[in-house]
A and B are shown apart, each in its own frame.
Chain A
Amino acid sequence: MTPEQARRAITEALSQIAPETDPGSLAPDADLRDALELDSLDFLRVVETLSERTGQRIDEDDYPQLATMASAVKFLAAR
């Protein structure tokens, strides 16, 4: 997966969970959960969506790597 594909997947997943926001305009190092006001359930759905879309298993231990857009793109693109 290219970083661009990863970014698109993440943006779409976030838009779906928080439709009134514009994830594309976030700073790369902003904390996604804070910026988009995601609670743990929202976050779980983001993980779920990403996992489905990318076909990758994302374990609970991987969650910290999904904290910001930059780290998340890096995490997904690396796999």
Chain B
Amino acid sequence: MPVLGADMDEGTLLEWLVKPGDQVRRGDAIAVVDTAKSAIEVESFHTGTIDRLVVGIGETVPVGTVLATIAEPGGEGARAAAQPEAQPARKRPPRKSAARTRQRRQPVAAGEALPGTASPPVRHLARQLGVDLAALTGTGPGGAVTRADVQREAAARAPATKPVIRPPQPAAGTVAARQPVTPLARRVAAELSIDVAALTGSGPDGAVREADVRRALSAARQLPQQAVAEEAAVTPAAAGGPPTRPAAPQPATRAPAGERVQAMRQAIGRLMARSKREVPHYYLSNTVDMASAMDWLHQRNRELEVTERLVPAALLLKAAALAARQIPQLNGYWEDDHFTPGAAVHLGVAISLRGGGLVTPAIHAAADLRPAELMTQLRDLVTRARGGRLRRAELTDATITVTNLGDQGVETVFGVIYPPQVALVGIGKIIERPVAVGGLIGARPVVVTTLSADHRASDGYTGARYLAALSELLQRPEEL
């Protein structure tokens, strides 16, 4: 039983995703475990064949308990699956664990260009031919862009533009800074046709590692499968056959709803009590004119299929993430009496669960996502949160959280910070209000944005800059 949250002592096995004899690779999801906060997939840290499932469905066991044994390929004996993660939180001295946390979250220096996936001669050729490497898909080892790729691209554009010899530019200008990806992750991603650029890394400096790729793969698999299931269930009805209820997206076996809600309430209660006990909150509020944002949104959605439409929340979240990047003092953690800024903005989104309770999974590197991507991830996250399929990193990585209660008709949110984060952004309902613009009073959509912030990490002035930045960003929705 892995530790899947800072205050997790035990977990309940909800579902086995494998059976004895199945082949598993390191990083594959093998079980679903119910913690007090959510149902979370457990990944295997070993490659091999499932030997024995030790813990039965519905059993609650302490962290560190062997869930299943895996026989290693060619090895004699079976070994405990998921054991490496067992008990680390309590076994290690707290200082050491804090040091590791800081290390993992070290920010990448601003403006630091990371090496491209093309060799220097290929980059040189690309510059000469005016080909943007970032736009190319590499065919080389590990997805590296090759000479041939660049030449092909240049040839494809030849009728339109003659190759232009461009003066050499600084690498930072031509090669977009990008996330580090380990060679293995790059290779596996290429094999599985996964775009590493869209992944969030769990390694040092946010490096994408193999496990991140495999997680993305299992997430990607899940969506189409669900769609297929729904379609299959729905088609007979559309064809006039007897109505069939689609399969419930929840796992079949779960703890009774009442107990579950109670456990979750207890967990939320502990965390919020700690927050109110330890964190000196200060609160700020600002009313933001949403006219431009809503106009832009309607305009855009009108042209699009329903699957591509954005909800206002997507814009608000993007703006909140960008503002957090502009004011880094609010994005990060207060630990060991000091503030450590987050390497990226991992935006926690408070999602209320049907039947009660709340989870705040993170959208990784939210400030780097276009609103449409953010929308996709938001939908995915909500679906999975309610289906009980959140991933561990999503539950532990948020650097700042947004609570949007607008859909519930609330005008103003006064939130409680999730420690060790230092800020919580509240978003209320978008409502029409009389507003004076250019000396004329008119009805315009507005939203009240609030900030609850940790006074140990920042002061009101910083918080005010954040809300101002948020407002500013929402006035230019096309740039979000």
Give the B-binding residues of A (Cβ under 8 A). Answer: 8, 12, 15-16, 18-20, 33, 37-42, 44-45, 47-48, 51, 53, 57-61
Contacts and interface: CB of A to CB of B under 8 A. Distances in A.
Contacts of A45: 379
Contacts of B352: 39
Contacts of A48: 306-307
B420 interface: no
21 contacts: A12-B246, A15-B245, A16-B246, A19-B250, A20-B354, A20-B355, A37-B354, A38-B407, A39-B407, A40-B313, A40-B407, A41-B378, A41-B382, A44-B311, A44-B379, A45-B379, A51-B305, A51-B306, A57-B305, A60-B298, A61-B302
B309 A8 contact: no
A34 to B, nearest CB: 8
Contacts of A51: 305-306
B243 A12 contact: yes
Interface residues of B, number: 29
Interface of B: 230, 234, 237-238, 243, 245-246, 248-250, 298, 301-302, 305-307, 309, 311-313, 352, 354-355, 378-379, 382, 406-408
B237 A59 contact: no
Nearest to B378: A41
Contacts, number: 56
Contacts of A38: 407
* B interface: dominant SS: helix
Contacts of B238: 53
* A interface: dominant SS: helix
Given A8-B243, A41-B382, A48-B307, A53 B249 contact: no
A15 B245 CA distance: 8
Nearest to A45: B379
Nearest to B313: A40
Nearest to A58: B306
Contacts of B305: 51, 57
Contacts of B378: 41
B248 to A, nearest CB: 5
B385 to A, nearest CB: 11
Contacts of A42: 382
A19 B388 CA distance: 14
B302 to A, nearest CB: 6
B234 A12 contact: yes
B234 A53 contact: yes
Ranked nearest first, the 9 interchain pairs of A and B with the lowest CB-CB distance are A39-B407, A40-B311, A60-B301, A48-B306, A51-B306, A19-B248, A40-B407, A41-B382, A47-B306
A8 B238 CA distance: 10
A60 B354 contact: no
A38 B407 CA distance: 8
A44 B406 CA distance: 15
Nearest to A48: B306
B311 A41 contact: yes
Contacts of A12: 234, 237, 243, 245-246
Nearest to B300: A60
A18 B245 CA distance: 12
A59 B302 contact: yes
Given A20-B354, A60-B298, A44 B309 contact: yes
Contacts of B230: 16
Contacts of B311: 40-41, 44
B366 to A, nearest CB: 16
Contacts of B250: 19
Nearest to A55: B238
Nearest to A38: B407
B391 to A, nearest CB: 19
Contacts of A16: 230, 246
A19 B249 contact: yes
A39 B429 CA distance: 11
A58 B305 CA distance: 9
A40 B237 CA distance: 26
A40 B301 CA distance: 14
Nearest to B245: A15
A69 B412 CA distance: 30
